[in-house]
Amino acid sequence: MASHSPDVMTIERAQKSFNEAVSLTGYGKYNIFVLLATGGCLMCVIIETMNMSFIIPAAQCDLHLTLSEKGILVSISFLGVITTSHFWGFMADYRGRRNILILSLITSSILSIIGSVIPWAWLFILLRYINGAFIGGASSIIYAFAGEFHDDYYRPKVISWVSAFVALGQMYIPGMAWAILSQKWEFPVDAFGITFRPWRLLIIAYALPSLIVAAMMSILPESPKFLLAKGKHDHTIKILRKMFVINTGKNSIEYPVCTVFLDEFVTEQSTEKKTNFFKLIWKQSVLLFKKEFRLKTILICYLQFGVFLSASALALWFPQILNSLSKFAQTVGNANVTLCGSIMNEEVSQTKYSKFLLAYKGNFWRSYDSRIDDGEICDDSVDTSVFLVVLLIAVAIMITYIVIGIFINKLGKKSILVGGTILTAVSGLVAQYISGFETILILCGIYLLITSMVGVVNALAVDIYPTNIRAMAIAVSLMFGRLGAMVGSNIVGVIFYSYCSYIFIFFAINHLLLVVSTLILPLKKTKI
pLDDT tens-digit series, residues 267-284: 444 444 445 656 666 776
Cα–Cα distance, 507 to 43 (Å, whole number): 27
Confidence at residue 242, expressed as pLDDT on a 0 to 100 scale: 94
Could you tell me if residue 337 is inside a domain?
A: no
Confidence at residue 382, expressed as pLDDT on a 0 to 100 scale: 55
Confidence at residue 13, expressed as pLDDT on a 0 to 100 scale: 62
For strands 14-17 and 194-196, give the pairing. unpaired
Confidence at residue 12, expressed as pLDDT on a 0 to 100 scale: 54
Cβ atoms of residues 447 and 128 within 8 Å: no
Could you tell me which of 485, 310, 405 has the C-alpha nearest to residue 39?
405
Cβ atoms of residues 444 and 192 within 8 Å: no
Confidence at residue 105, expressed as pLDDT on a 0 to 100 scale: 95
Could you tell me if residue 101 is inside a domain?
A: yes
pLDDT tens-digit series, residues 10-55: 445 678 888 899 999 999 999 999 999 999 999 999 899 888 877 8
Q: Give me the residues paired with residue 439 across strands.
A: none
Confidence at residue 235, expressed as pLDDT on a 0 to 100 scale: 93
Confidence at residue 252, expressed as pLDDT on a 0 to 100 scale: 87
Confidence at residue 17, expressed as pLDDT on a 0 to 100 scale: 87
How many structural domains compose the chain?
A: 1
Confidence at residue 8, expressed as pLDDT on a 0 to 100 scale: 44
Cβ atoms of residues 142 and 166 within 8 Å: no
Cα dihedral 50, 51, 52, 58 in deg (nearest 10): 150
Confidence at residue 346, expressed as pLDDT on a 0 to 100 scale: 58
Could you tell me if residue 336 is inside a domain?
A: no
Confidence at residue 102, expressed as pLDDT on a 0 to 100 scale: 94
Cα–Cα distance, 129 to 72 (Å, whole number): 10
Could you tell me if residue 245 is inside a domain?
A: no
Confidence at residue 345, expressed as pLDDT on a 0 to 100 scale: 73
Confidence at residue 416, expressed as pLDDT on a 0 to 100 scale: 93
Confidence at residue 323, expressed as pLDDT on a 0 to 100 scale: 66
Average confidence (pLDDT) per 10 residues, the chain, 528 residues:
43 76 92 95 90 81 79 79 82 86 95 93 93 86 88 86 87 86 86 89 95 95 90 92 93 88 58 56 74 88 91 71 74 80 60 43 38 49 61 83 85 92 93 86 87 86 80 81 79 71 87 94 65
Domain with 119 in it:
15-230+279-326+382-520
Could you tell me if residue 426 is inside a domain?
A: yes
Could you tell me if residue 272 is inside a domain?
A: no
Which residues make Cβ contacts (< 8 Å) with residue 378, sequence separation at least 6?
A: 60, 61, 372
Could you tell me if residue 354 is inside a domain?
A: no
Which residues make Cβ contacts (< 8 Å) with residue 442, sequence separation at least 6?
A: none
Could you tell me if residue 452 is inside a domain?
A: yes
Task: Supply the CATH number for residue 27's domain.
Answer: 1.20.1250.20
